[in-house]
């Protein structure tokens, strides 16, 4: 085998990679040692800004295969025929902690999926829970600040966490999910994934439907208790990453079955609660699950930085037949996600291999910027319309238009007949076994009892009482018992 030659960034061969150039043997270093300076300067710049949320992540390549006909609801090409396969990349993640955080912690898990379709990339950005803590994006920075490390103590503080939730009654449903048995998945393979938001599908006739995505794990749900998680995090902080990597390397390819719930536009117009509220689920009795296909992960990234850290997902990456809904949180994320990647990776991040679409041609008027690699020639104009046969619009909308009415302004969410922040949290509690309820109460009390302000504790207890009287009573008793110890 021919020996490869080490070179500088500019391609010049390196004569000595073991010794820096000095002024005589044992003398001071020389500024002219270009190889040394280049290595140190490049090393200083190896890290890019980590994600503010979802910083700690793992990823894998795979494919999505259609198993059931859904053309009644969408004309998306990658869903157009049974047996159709589309290449995918997924990124799993924890939410609150930094890149160096442990995997086995009580935290929602990101479930971000990129479909490399023939009509461009479709990004589905969700979590392992079907709901979220808030319903309006204007509160998202506040929520995340309350969950991240405190600027003074440098750690997550129960006072901050529970104070925010005390003032956000709509979080009660998601708190019940998070503090329950599914709050700490045993691995990324053993949890469900959800689109969480409501999306719009449009069929070939132009009819619009609203959908929710459910990826059900075919490995079965497995979770960790708080004690098991603490032990595992101490033994292997990268436990979820290790499990995913080793499973795929062994050929044990994880898979999920995708189902959707479908709601017509007419049903959405007068549904008993706001169907676009991210803090609520659609009861399956109203809108049963319809099977769509299966997701299979069969290849690990060759380079975690290149393919996981640089992977950029944005819910505004739609394809024909799929579009947004009036979900306020989704609407905010249509901007925020893409903008985060422009900050972290640069305006040309969509040309990195893991993010680049698989379509034969990417043709637009985007030019220049950091890391620009496709700037056109003397014959390509960077404006539109033009007289030089440049790319032009199709006049075919990706999805159906959304009807709007009323006055602009900062409106509170419209009230529906059955809108409240507690009913579904109570329904979830009442579905649990006595053992599950006991663990839920213990998990909540473990954090809430450490809050220093009695009024913050009482506000949170009021939320649990509003969800279910027994729920609130048991949490209150557990908190008081811990505070008296």
Contact 239, 278 (CB under 8 A): no
Active site residue 127: yes
Which candidate in 61, 75, 121, 127 is catalytic? 127
Rounded Cα gap, residues 246 and 253, in angstroms: 10
Which candidate in 54, 214, 240, 463 is catalytic? 54
Contact 262, 286 (CB under 8 A): no
- Which of 102, 104, 105, 111 minimizes the C-alpha distance to 130? 111
* Residue 44: C-alpha distances to residues 14, 39, 48, 50, 303 (Å): 20, 9, 10, 15, 20
Helices (H), 19-73: 34-44
Rounded Cα gap, residues 454 and 444, in angstroms: 15
Establish whether the linkage from the previous residue to 385 is cis, with ω within 30° of 0: yes
- In sequence order, what DSSP letters do the residues of 425-477 get, joined into one string? HHHHHHHS-HHHHHHHHHHHHHHHTT-S-HHHHHHHHHHHHHH-HHHHHHHHH
Contact 176, 429 (CB under 8 A): yes
Residue 33: count other Cβ atoms within 10 Å of its Cβ: 16
Helices (H), 27-128: 34-44
Rounded Cα gap, residues 212 and 202, in angstroms: 14
Contact 174, 133 (CB under 8 A): yes
- Which of 431, 421, 435 minimizes the C-alpha distance to 464? 421
What residues are annotated to the active site?
A: 54, 127
């Amino acid at each position: 085998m021919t020996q490869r030659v080490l070179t500088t960034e500019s391609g010049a061969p390196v004569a000595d990679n073991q010794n820096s150039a000095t002024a005589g043997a044992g003398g001071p270093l020389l500024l002219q040692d270009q190889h040394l300076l280049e290595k140190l300067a490049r090393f200083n710049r190896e890290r890019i800004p980590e994600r503010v949320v979802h910083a700690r992540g793992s990823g894998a390549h795979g494919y999505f295969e259609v198993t059931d006909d859904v053309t009644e609801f969408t004309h998306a090409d990658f869903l157009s025929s049974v047996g159709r396969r589309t290449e995918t990349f997924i990124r799993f993640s924890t939410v609150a902690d930094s890149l160096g955080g442990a995997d086995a912690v009580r935290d929602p898990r990101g479930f971000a999926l990129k479909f490399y379709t023939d009509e461009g990339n479709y990004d589905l950005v969700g979590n392992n829970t079907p709901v979220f803590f808030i319903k309006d994006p204007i509160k998202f920075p506040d929520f995340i600040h309350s969950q991240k490390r405190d600027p003074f103590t440098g750690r997550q503080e129960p006072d901050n966490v529970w104070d925010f939730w005390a003032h956000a009654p709509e979080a009660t449903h998601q708190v019940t999910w998070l503090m329950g048995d599914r709050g700490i998945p045993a691995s990324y393979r053993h949890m469900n994934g959800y689109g969480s938001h409501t999306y719009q599908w449009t069929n070939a006739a132009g009819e619009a439907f609203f959908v929710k995505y459910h990826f059900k794990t075919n490995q079965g749900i497995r979770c960790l208790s708080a004690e098991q998680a603490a032990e595992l995090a101490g033994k292997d902080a990268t436990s979820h990453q290790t499990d995913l990597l080793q499973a795929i390397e062994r050929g044990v390819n994880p898979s999920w079955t995708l189902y959707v719930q479908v709601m017509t536009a007419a049903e959405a117009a007068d549904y008993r609660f706001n169907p676009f509220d991210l803090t609520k689920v659609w009861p399956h009795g109203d809108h049963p699950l319809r099977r769509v296909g299966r997701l299979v992960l069969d290849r690990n990234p060759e380079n975690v930085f290149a393919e996981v850290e640089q992977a950029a997902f944005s819910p505004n990456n739609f394809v024909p037949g799929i579009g947004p809904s009036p979900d306020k949180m989704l609407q905010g994320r249509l901007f925020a996600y893409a903008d985060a990647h422009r900050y972290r990776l640069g305006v040309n991040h969509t040309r990195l291999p893991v993010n680049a679409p698989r379509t034969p041609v990417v043709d637009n008027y985007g030019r220049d910027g950091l890391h620009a690699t496709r700037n056109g020639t003397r014959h390509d104009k960077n404006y539109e319309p033009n007289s030089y046969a440049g790319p032009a619009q199709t006049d075919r909308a990706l999805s159906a238009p959304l009807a709007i009415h009323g006055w602009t302004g900062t409106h509170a969410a419209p009230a529906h007949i059955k809108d409240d922040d507690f009913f579904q949290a109570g329904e979830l509690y009442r579905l649990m076994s006595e053992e599950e309820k006991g663990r839920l109460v213990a998990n909540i009390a473990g954090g809430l009892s450490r809050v220093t302000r009695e009024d913050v504790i009482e506000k949170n207890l009021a939320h649990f009482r509003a969800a279910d009287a027994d729920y609130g009573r048991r949490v209150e008793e557990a908190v008081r018992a811990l505070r008296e110890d």
